[in-house]
């Protein structure tokens, strides 16, 4: 293959060794598609809600992931107890059993990470294969969202930043225009039908009821449609 390789890098994650190599490829040709664009709203209840009516569930709520998380918590408690049992003075002694348990915990943690990453890869590939003319996502302030103690864990598990990163580079690969909506664009508060802005909308309000035109729609679906409208206004200009 006549390509240029660069920046070889070897890394170790505690269990496996990885070799990473950069490859230079020609820029992709833009997709000549007459398909509509897609707005994608990320959420906690469901991972991704598309304006094309596709909804991707939160995989962290599945029984398989819940079982692994339960096993992870059990191993964490087990290791903690072993450290306390083998404490000598102010220092902790790491025994062979502790090392063995830590490797088991690392395998479970990696398994959870791999499941989520694979799920995101599958979703983004499925979206890109529809060949939309553009894809719009919000510039989420993930760091600020993590300050909410009630949502921090759920947001961390959903891997919003990773989803956006993967979606962006897949758009670049396939020549699809990726549009980032302004962080202060009120996608959830604007009615996707008439454009009326509902300033009093609360985070707990999961159904959007427009006081101006009477539209009743799921909050996240409404946001994804507004993001699609945002992209259309950008493309027209």
Q: Helix, strand, or coil here: 114? A: helix
What pLDDT, on the 0 to 100 scale, is given for residue 60? 92
- Between strands 134-138 and 38-42, the pairing is parallel
- Nearest-angstrom CA–CA distance, 131 and 111: 31
What pLDDT, on the 0 to 100 scale, is given for residue 29? 66
- Nearest-angstrom CA–CA distance, 195 and 38: 18
Extract the residue ranges of the chain whose pLDDT is less than 70.
1, 29-34
Contacts of 69 (CB under 8 A, 6+ apart): 112
pLDDT digits (tens, 9 = 90+) for 161-194: 899 999 999 998 888 999 999 888 889 889 998 9
What pLDDT, on the 0 to 100 scale, is given for residue 34? 63
What pLDDT, on the 0 to 100 scale, is given for residue 154? 82
Contacts of 1 (CB under 8 A, 6+ apart): none
In the chain, domain spans: 4-236
Beta bridge pairs of residue 181: 138
- Between strands 177-181 and 207-209, the pairing is unpaired
What pLDDT, on the 0 to 100 scale, is given for residue 231? 92
- Nearest-angstrom CA–CA distance, 177 and 58: 26
Contacts of 62 (CB under 8 A, 6+ apart): none
- Nearest-angstrom CA–CA distance, 218 and 90: 55
């Amino acid at each position: 293959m006549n390509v240029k390789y660069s920046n070889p890098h070897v890394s170790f994650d505690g269990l496996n060794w990885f070799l990473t190599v950069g490859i230079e490829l020609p820029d992709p040709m833009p997709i000549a598609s007459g398909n509509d664009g897609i707005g994608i709203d990320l959420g906690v209840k469901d991972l991704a809600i598309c304006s094309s009516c596709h909804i991707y569930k939160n995989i962290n709520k599945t029984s398989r992931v819940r079982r692994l998380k339960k096993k992870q918590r059990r191993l964490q408690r087990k290791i903690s107890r072993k450290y306390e049992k083998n404490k000598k003075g102010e220092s902790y002694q790491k025994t062979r059993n502790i090392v063995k348990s830590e490797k088991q915990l690392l395998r479970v943690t990696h398994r959870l990470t791999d499941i989520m990453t694979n799920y995101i890869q599958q979703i983004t590939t499925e979206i890109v294969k529809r060949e939309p003319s553009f894809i719009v996502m919000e510039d989420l302030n993930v760091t600020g969202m993590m300050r909410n103690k009630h949502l921090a864990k759920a947001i961390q598990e959903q891997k919003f930043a990773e989803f956006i990163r993967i979606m962006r580079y897949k758009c670049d690969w396939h020549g699809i225009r990726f549009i980032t909506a302004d962080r202060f664009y009120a996608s959830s508060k604007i009615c996707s039908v008439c454009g009326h802005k509902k300033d009093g909308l609360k985070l707990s309000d999961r159904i959007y009821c427009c006081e101006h035109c009477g539209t009743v729609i799921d909050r996240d679906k409404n946001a994804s449609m507004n993001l699609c409208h945002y992209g259309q206004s950008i493309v027209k200009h």
